[in-house]
Copies of this chain bind each other. A is one copy, B any other.
Amino acid sequence: MHSHKQKNRQHYKQLFVIIFGVLLWFTPVPEGLSLPAWHLFAIFISIILAVIIEATSIFTASIIGLGFVILTHTLTAKQAYSGFSQGFILLIIVAFLIARGVIKSGLGKRIALLIIKKFGKSSLGLGYSIIAADMFISPAFPSNTARSGVLYPIVQALSADSGSKVNDGTRKKLGAYLMMTSMAGLTISSAMWLTAMAANPAGAKMAKEFGIEISYGSWALASFAPSLVAFIVIPWLLFKIFPPELKETPDAPLIAQEQLEHMGNVHKNEYIMGFTFIAMITFWVFSAQLHIDKTAIAFLGLGVLMLANIFTLDDLAHEGRALGTLIWFGTLYAMSSYLNEFGFMSWLGMHISNIIAGQSWPVVYVGLVLAYVFIHYFFVSQTAQMLALFSVFLSVGINADVPAEMLALMLLFATNFNAMITPQGSSANVIYLSSGYIESREVYKYGGIVTLANTLIYLGVGTAWIMLIF
């Protein structure tokens, strides 16, 4: 229940967003932009503002924005709803449901207890172990979306089995920290390997058009130092700024050991779940080579869980959050796609490039990377940003005598390490948000800080390292 005062404050914030949006809508269109592009931007940025200042939830802001965007004919209904049938968005939704199966089967608990037994003496230790696992599997996992679907159920079980849940108000005890850390970990693990994110190889190919050769090895070598530093710094940083209430848990490994003994042998449902999960992961890893759709694999996997009664219709009935996620994420994705298609993104990129160009190359280099990171505020897809801006930024930099390979690598790293700047900045974020352990606004704040830290580490350590070794 909201108090009267809180309610009033909420209404003032909502009024502020509306005034902001209306003023922006009627502001004369900047030169070089079309009217629909400007109007779409006005609605899109108003939604983001509403979320940041907590005027409404991301769901409410998105559906209202969706209504306006269609009724004002800024987008056609078909364009505005196009996000809901995007495979990678559906993958997140289905992965979220499968995660429930992992938990319900008992397998999630068992894996969580095994991790706690080994690394569970402190929350920080758990944080590190999650990211380490992520980094370990990431080179074979060319989809950070699918990888988040694998990590998420483990993180959720770790939280729940440490007594940190969403419904009873204990999310901040441990779960919020672990979820945020795993989200941050995905930005690092994706930047670490050429094959750890779907867009990375595409980016390497685009760089080749500028005569820049980026191999599996050169990528790994260049990213090694900054990724290692980020791996060390980020869990600790989040531990300081977004601390779990549960910090030291010296008895946890022993308790976990006892609980494991109490669980006894692996049950039938755990076997079915484990087998299904491993099969799904295997197909996901080889999906590109086998030309199979990752989302279809996930749908089949969920089907198996339903046939086995591990995930039931009753379970589904309580997963309304997944529907909410599909709607808000699909909406923002469609808006961002059309902002790009209407030329807003390239217009913005050009303007920023023009401002930066003409300076000395180190200034251009840093300016381009910072701008590239910052612009991700407007993008819902990492791949879309890369396709829209990577070549533009790279050519501006090369013209200003920035070392080409270094800039190309740094922009490709940035494509990954900027992913946490907004809740919608990566599909991998979304599954963690759906959990309810993390609120949208917390991502803007702490994800923003992580993005800043990532930027400092990759720009600082990474640049020095690349100049040293290349």
Task: Choose one: B59, B292, B306; the contact of A71 (CB below 8 Å).
Answer: B292
Classify the interface of chain A: helix, strand, loop or mixed.
Answer: helix
In the complex, how many angstroms separate the beta carbon of A15 from the nearest chain B beta carbon? 11
Check A259 for interface membership: any CB of B closer than 8 A.
Answer: no
Check A63 for interface membership: any CB of B closer than 8 A.
Answer: yes
Do the beta carbons of B56 and A306 come within 8 Å of each other? Answer: yes
Do the beta carbons of A316 and B324 come within 8 Å of each other? Answer: yes
Given contacts A87-B81, A318-B317, A320-B317, contact A60 B307 (CB under 8 A): yes
Whole-angstrom CA separation of A330 from B299 in the bound complex: 14
Task: Choose one: B59, B83, B296, B303; the contact of A316 (CB below 8 Å).
Answer: B59
Whole-angstrom CA separation of A330 from B93 in the bound complex: 15
Q: Which residues in B have their C-beta under 8 angstroms from that of A93?
A: 323
Do the beta carbons of B87 and A85 come within 8 Å of each other? Answer: no
Interface centre among A56, A80, A295, A323 (most CB of B within 10 A): A323
Do the beta carbons of B14 and A309 come within 8 Å of each other? Answer: no
Number of copies of this chain that the complex holds: 2
Whole-angstrom CA separation of A71 from B302 in the bound complex: 15
**How many residues on the A side are at the interface (Cβ–Cβ under 8 A)?**
51
Do the beta carbons of A64 and B317 come within 8 Å of each other? Answer: no
* Interface positions of A from 99 to 136, Cβ below 8 Å from B: none
Closest to A94 in B: B63
Interface centre among A67, A78, A86, A90 (most CB of B within 10 A): A67
Check A68 for interface membership: any CB of B closer than 8 A.
Answer: yes
* Interface positions of A from 285 to 299, Cβ below 8 Å from B: 292-293, 295-297, 299
Given contacts A84-B90, A303-B64, A309-B2, contact A293 B71 (CB under 8 A): yes
Do the beta carbons of A318 and B316 come within 8 Å of each other? Answer: no
Task: Choose one: B66, B67, B83; the contact of A85 (CB below 8 Å).
Answer: B83
A-B contact pairs, 14 of them (CB 8 A): A14-B307, A59-B313, A63-B300, A64-B300, A67-B303, A71-B297, A81-B87, A81-B90, A81-B295, A83-B85, A84-B90, A315-B320, A316-B323, A322-B323
